[in-house]
Chain A
């Protein structure tokens, strides 16, 4: 069965410093991986997705993630944090075995950005 582990429940950074949100996945088949962001009292917005094309994926708002099969990781990074990046981030996996209608969510990482 597929699963996702977000290694940090909270990450705190200062504005202008790099962001790293860690995600490890487990999947018996070729996975598709996503990062979603949820701002307070808002729905979920797709940041970026990996679907077996380039392993380095660029998303919106300067975020990117690298798919590393050998490490079963899909960490989210951003070179310089902005105050508006403060939100909760979810790593998500689906695979061909379970079907594309099935998304498995991590438990989320709350990103705190201080001035």
Chain B
């Protein structure tokens, strides 16, 4: 089944403790992206990648890092999480042409205390 898989689904952590949220897609898509969803704000793009080793900042990149060492994986790294990063995170992938839209993962709900 074609899908985007995120792990974990739920995570509670403490301020300052580094964490990684993994994202993997099995559709050989070139484009991958991370979003955060907050009430009343919709989804905002954190980082995106157009191909292996090609990444760029989205609208809200502060406090996050990403890497794209292989096509299928696009992990999101929080080096020193803070409570304002408590949110619902989505990974998404696309073949790279606009006509296809994006396929989204099921989300990771992160709480930083």
Contacts and interface: CB of A to CB of B under 8 A. Distances in A.
Contact of B50 (A43, A51, A101, A106): A101
Contacts of B45: 102-103
Given A102-B45, A107-B40, A44 B104 contact: yes
B99 A51 contact: yes
Interface stretch (B14-22, B63-71, B90-98): B90-98
7 contacts: A32-B99, A43-B106, A100-B97, A101-B33, A101-B96, A102-B45, A105-B42
A94 interface: yes
Chain B at the A interface: SS class: strand
A107 B41 contact: yes
A46 B105 contact: no
Contact of B102 (A9, A46, A107): A46
Given A34-B101, A51-B98, A103-B45, 6 more contacts: A32-B99, A42-B107, A43-B104, A43-B106, A105-B42, A105-B44
Contacts of A43: 4, 90, 104-107
Contact of A90 (B43, B58, B98): B43
Contacts of B99: 32, 49, 51
